[in-house]
A and B are shown apart, each in its own frame.
Chain A
């Protein structure tokens, strides 16, 4: 694979005078520079089909490639597949890239794709992303062509295949690794694993045989710094060059610091406060609407998120494909809320408990909501559950109200709506509000099974209006990614799904 023209990394740039280096941030510091990245936890496994947690994805995405990926603007660009065609409603054919080598020196072929997809489908952790694909309908056409088929039409299939969890793995490498598959990643990506001190840091090294433009920095180290404040301090004191997930209250510290840059953009995440729609009085839409009116979301965004992100108008963030851009957030109007409650038959309010897990932000939200609801006569209290019980008990429907978040990783409305609002998805599967509306089910099914863009769009526009109106949630907040970087860093780009590719990152002087 030819080296890209332009800056030859072999050329010593470190000899530039220091003062100029400050200006010319893009100049590579030196050949063996290490970029340190801090995130809030360590990767759990480096097997893409192992765990689907953010921290792991953020590391793996540097080492593994998917067939195709979505840009931040939701356009599909080729990675390991160079082109794809919809053969019929149920089948897509992929042409694979030629001359790609795995980190272990093997050639990348159609067999790997077949193996990887089947393996992903079987994986308990990531299987649900691709389980609409029929494993028997994954066919190798020739060494560089693969067909993928579903049993029913599935609109967002490409989006799902772009999910970083559906990365390609090498059959031989996986088999050779045996029990160690989680710690011996073999991908095709721009970086390969150098060393992993589990719990502490992961060191990556440039893959010089990368099929595309090689990474600009030779080494990247992901450090696990769990305390938010510490990540900021590490960034300030030069211990790391890039810090992910800056706490909202640290925004000003980075913005005010001449040596640092805050990179921020909306992401695909949403935070919501769900009702238990199967339980009195939350089974009444009026009650749910009233509560939506009773919560001053601007205050929450200000107090809890320090103005970071946006208050949510509906179930999807505006950057998600098929998001309804016309939805209006519920107006804060406690008087109206009281009236509506009275109409619904609760003039004196009632008792309710808001559940959260031990997440500080959610607790803060709950505290405020709890307080605001008391002002319209609802005697709200809050209870913090340990994560395990929290998930179990909300899945079992034992709650009144609960706070959770959701990230529409694929950037597609289906991913952001189906599991959460379809009545087939009660409980564990995602619909913890036990919200059921036949029309919504119908529309979600259309959106999912149609492969016609326009049909899907229409269905999603309507369904979002209904959901907003029915208000199984208090629509709370659409998230924003905050990453702090040193000014020495250039080439860092966000991605709304949260996993940032770092191969363009350069550490300057």
Chain B
């Protein structure tokens, strides 16, 4: 197992390099002058030049990329933000816990809603409950997230006054964003749970369990669920990974200082080191989440366990 993890961690290196190269290339060729963007429309030519010199923007593509990688490798230094000259690493790391919390809570809500609904609707296939929960799931995926967020704010903050419309420091503030993210993710998890359960409950070993005289509820929880979990865990992992950078819209609506928003702002302001660093952070975390999911497989499934050697 340890060897497997070590191998997977090693595999991160090319991925990180690739991600760095792609973002770097994209940013390099994107139009607009970071100097102008950072210093503002009123900045003079001299200052612009000074800025470019300072951040090495006058060097060629390869020199810049090489320097970037060199600094990252030798000094664990992802550069400084153009705008406030803070270490990119520190800036991103500062926002990261919030993003993790948001993604985590969202996924938690989604799991708490999606898995039970998915199970029930699978065991009661074609029932009214099944239809209703599938429609719920469809509505969940169909509704643009930011719209849903706004409607929730109007309903829960303005009319009911239950939860504050923005921020992410105390529990009350976390409710609406987590629900916004949670419902759309729940929709995906519900569907996956349902189809995975439907697949599993057709299996012979479920019949075997029934033939032993086992209670139906136990058959579902003890025999079916465990086996249905693998694709569900995959989806949960994917969704969690996706939310790390993909919750930008929710972050904006609810004024949550997460990495996604940091990066969107940075993209707009051409604060390339931040974009670059943020993407790297997300990519690494995404890969780590994938690794964790794979390790989870091993816990869920002894067949996989025996392969991680």
Contacts and interface: CB of A to CB of B under 8 A. Distances in A.
A and B touch in the complex (CB under 8 A): yes
Interface of A: 41-42, 44-45, 47, 50-53, 123-125, 127-128, 131, 179-183, 197-200, 223-227, 229-230, 233-234, 236-237, 239, 386-393, 395, 404, 419, 428-430
Contacts of B257: 42, 197-200, 224
Contact of B165 (A200, A230, A390, A392): A230
Nearest to A223: B167
A428 B153 contact: no
B35 to A, nearest CB: 8
Contact of B253 (A131, A223, A227, A236): A227
Contact of B32 (A52, A125, A391, A429): A391
B2 interface: no
Contact of B31 (A42, A392, A429): A392
A293 B161 CA distance: 48
A42 B47 CA distance: 24
B268 interface: yes
Interface stretch (B10-18, B80-88, B202-210): B80-88
Given A42-B257, A200-B169, A124 B43 contact: yes
Contact of A234 (B166, B168, B258, B269): B166
A202 to B, nearest CB: 12
B262 interface: yes
A226 B165 CA distance: 12
21 contacts: A45-B84, A52-B40, A52-B42, A124-B43, A197-B94, A198-B86, A199-B261, A200-B169, A223-B167, A224-B255, A225-B167, A227-B255, A230-B153, A233-B153, A233-B157, A234-B165, A387-B37, A388-B34, A388-B269, A392-B31, A392-B33
B31 A388 contact: yes
A428 B165 contact: no
A176 B260 CA distance: 32
Q: Which 6 A-B pairs have the closest CB atoms?
A: A388-B32, A199-B257, A200-B257, A124-B47, A45-B84, A182-B84
A226 B265 CA distance: 11
A404 B41 contact: yes
Given A51-B38, A227-B252, A419-B42, 4 more contacts: A50-B84, A125-B40, A224-B257, A386-B32
Given A45-B85, A179-B87, A198 B30 contact: no
B39 interface: yes
Looking at A51, A180, A428, the one whose CB has the most chain B CB atoms below 10 A away is: A428
Contacts of B40: 51-53, 125
Contact of A233 (B34, B46, B165): B165
Contacts of B161: 237
A234 B157 CA distance: 9
Interface of B: 30-48, 50-51, 54, 80, 83-87, 91, 94-95, 98, 150, 153, 157-158, 161, 164-169, 252-255, 257-258, 261-262, 265, 268-270
Contact of B38 (A125, A230, A389, A395): A125
Contacts of A128: 42-44, 47
Contacts, number: 151
B94 A198 contact: yes
A225 B80 CA distance: 25
A388 B83 contact: no
A41 B84 CA distance: 14
Contacts of A198: 86, 91, 94-95, 257
Contacts of A45: 83-85
B149 to A, nearest CB: 10
Contacts of A429: 44-45
Nearest to A53: B40
Residue of B94, B167, B258 with highest tally of chain A CB at under 10 A: B167
B40 to A, nearest CB: 6
A293 B95 CA distance: 50
Contacts of A42: 257
A389 B94 contact: no
B95 to A, nearest CB: 6
A191 B6 CA distance: 51
Contacts of A127: 44, 46-47
A428 B36 contact: yes
Nearest to A52: B40
Nearest to B91: A198
Nearest to A41: B265
A127 B42 CA distance: 10
A125 B270 CA distance: 15
A179 B40 CA distance: 22
Nearest to B51: A124
Contacts of B158: 233, 236-237
A124 B158 CA distance: 44
Contact of A386 (B36, B164, B166, B268): B268
Contact of A200 (B34, B48, B168): B168
B32 A392 contact: yes
A391 B31 contact: no
A392 B261 CA distance: 24
B150 A229 contact: yes
Contacts of A404: 41
Contact of A131 (B39, B44, B258): B44
B37 A388 contact: yes
Nearest to A42: B257
A226 B252 contact: yes
A125 B85 CA distance: 12
B169 A395 contact: no
Q: Of A53, A223, A237, A386, which is in contact with the most chain B CB atoms at under 10 Å from its CB?
A: A237
Contacts of B39: 124-125
B48 A428 contact: yes
B169 to A, nearest CB: 7
A225 B270 contact: no
B57 to A, nearest CB: 12
Contacts of A226: 252, 255
Given A124-B51, A199-B261, A50 B85 contact: yes
A239 B42 contact: no
A225 B169 CA distance: 13
Nearest to B36: A391
Contacts of B269: 387-388
A200 B256 CA distance: 7
Given A44-B84, A200-B169, A404-B41, A230 B255 contact: yes
Nearest to B258: A199
B166 A391 contact: no
